[in-house]
């Protein structure tokens, strides 16, 4: 389907004119892509889907070979692998760089953030994608664009029942990003692991519970088979975005036309991933229910305290990090605007 969409879109783009001459195209490029993913939809559909779209939109002039996480550098340090020139492009979650600069969590997504629909509007209509590109170039020396929307996640696949804050205390949890710090403040014992290590850690009891992604992504990973309890809602990750990051020299030597085509491929993948995960998650939750998993909803006090702790953490970071303050201010202003949504829209799934 995406291949057909891509052909139609590129025909339209060329037809209306981008103000870019076709003769500026350069010789063929064959790139390698490092990823953070050992397998699953982020690798097989999103990373490889983006590569296929780029090849289609450029009429085969740019081809991208996609590699699983760990084959071309650390899966948690894809941006380093890209910046160093080991590969030309990477596919990862920006938030894995939070240890270097926590502004990555404002753009990558996390607790207190936007839902997937809001995220798309924030990126493309409110200007966050441009701010994102400026930030990654200035602070990390790479060219980065959003290329997948990460859906709202399951809060935990857990071997222990978790519903109250008391249940969280002492729980060994695999997590990442801002929630690793915030959950620690709330009493959890947090562990950060790359994707390939998450399943065995839960299976062997290294951790009691894990968060990874949404229902459909997690279903394919089989977490529900080794942990009875499924805890919701995903307050730690209401929505997010995956980046395609490019070596700066590679990016800047491209013609303007090819850069625009790559941005178009990324935007198509954002829209495709949003629709795909949203629909698949519905069926995935039902399959988990049929498999005998028990669904637990966090109590209201857990959610209230978590939201407050998240806002306090954000304010602390904003006070000491100019980029964090700038990005957070941009996002919060957008969230304030979005408060009008419920006045003219039904909530999703309700009539």
Are 47 and 90 contacting, i.e. CB atoms less than 8 angstroms apart?
no
> Between 261 and 177, where is the model more confident?
261
Q: How is domain 156-237+293-321 classified at the architecture level of CATH? A: 3-Layer(aba) Sandwich (3.40)
**pLDDT bucket at 39, cuts 50 / 70 / 90:** confident
Evaluate if residue 20 carries a pLDDT over 80: no
- The model's pTM is 0.86
Cα dihedral 7/116/174/41 (nearest 10): -20
Write out the H or E segment, with its range, that includes residue 119: helix 116-124
Looking at residue 112, its pLDDT comes to 78
Residue whose tokens read 């995406």 = 2
Q: Where are the domains of the chain?
A: 2-152+239-279, 156-237+293-321
| Alpha carbon distance 305, 308 (integer Å) | 5
Contact indicator for 29, 78 with CB cutoff of 8 Å? no
9 band by pLDDT with thresholds 50, 70 and 90:
low
- pLDDT at residue 253 above 60? yes
Q: Between β-strands 240-247 and 142-150, what pairing exists: parallel, antiparallel or unpaired?
A: antiparallel
Mean pLDDT of the chain: 91
Q: Do the domains 156-237+293-321 and 2-152+239-279 match in fold?
A: yes
The domain made up of 2-152+239-279 is a member of CATH 3.30.450.20: no
User: Residue 8 above 50 pLDDT?
Assistant: no
Read off the pLDDT of residues 281-338 as tens digits, 9 standing for 90 and up. Answer: 999 999 999 999 999 999 999 999 999 999 999 999 999 999 999 999 999 999 999 9
Within 222-321, residue ranges assigned H as helices are 248-253, 256-290, 300-320
Q: Give per-residue pLDDT as tens, 80-124.
A: 999 999 999 999 999 999 999 999 999 999 887 899 999 999 999
Does 19 score more than 70 pLDDT? no
Type and span of the H or E element at 242: strand 240-247
Residue listed under structure tokens 């499924």: 230
Rounded distance between C-alpha atoms, residue 59 and residue 7, angstroms: 10
């Amino acid at each position: 389907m995406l291949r057909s969409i891509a052909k139609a879109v590129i025909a339209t783009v060329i037809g209306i004119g981008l103000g870019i001459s076709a003769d500026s195209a350069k010789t063929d490029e064959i790139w390698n892509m490092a990823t953070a993913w050992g397998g699953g939809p982020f690798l097989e559909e999103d990373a490889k889907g983006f590569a296929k779209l780029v090849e289609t939109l450029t009429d085969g002039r740019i081809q991208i070979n996609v590699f699983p996480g760990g084959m071309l550098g650390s899966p948690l340090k894809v941006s380093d692998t890209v910046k160093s020139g080991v590969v030309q492009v990477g596919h990862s979650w920006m938030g894995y760089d939070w240890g270097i600069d926590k502004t990555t969590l404002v753009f990558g997504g996390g607790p207190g953030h936007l839902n997937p629909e809001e995220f798309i509007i924030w990126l493309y209509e409110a200007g966050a994608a441009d701010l994102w590109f400026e930030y990654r170039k200035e602070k990390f020396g790479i060219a980065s664009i959003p290329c997948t929307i990460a859906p709202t996640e399951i809060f935990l696949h857990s071997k222990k029942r978790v519903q109250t804050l008391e249940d969280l205390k002492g729980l060994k949890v695999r997590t990442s990003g801002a929630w690793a710090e915030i959950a620690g403040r709330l009493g959890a014992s947090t562990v950060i692991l790359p994707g390939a290590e998450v399943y065995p850690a839960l299976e062997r009891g290294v951790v009691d519970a894990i968060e990874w992604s949404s229902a459909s992504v997690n279903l394919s990973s089989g977490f529900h088979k080794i942990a009875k309890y499924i805890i919701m809602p995903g307050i730690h990750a209401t929505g997010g975005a995956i980046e395609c990051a490019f070596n700066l020299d590679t990016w800047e030597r491209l013609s303007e036309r090819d850069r625009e085509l790559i941005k178009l491929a990324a935007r198509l993948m954002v829209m495709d991933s949003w629709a795909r995960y949203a629909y698949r998650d519905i069926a995935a939750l039902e399959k988990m229910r049929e498999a005998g998993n028990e669904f637990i909803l966090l109590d209201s006090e857990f959610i209230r305290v978590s939201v407050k702790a998240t806002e306090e953490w954000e304010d602390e970071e904003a006070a000491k990090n100019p980029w964090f303050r700038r990005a957070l201010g941009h996002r919060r202003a957008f969230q304030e605007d979005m408060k009008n949504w419920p006045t003219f829209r039904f909530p999703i799934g309700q009539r």
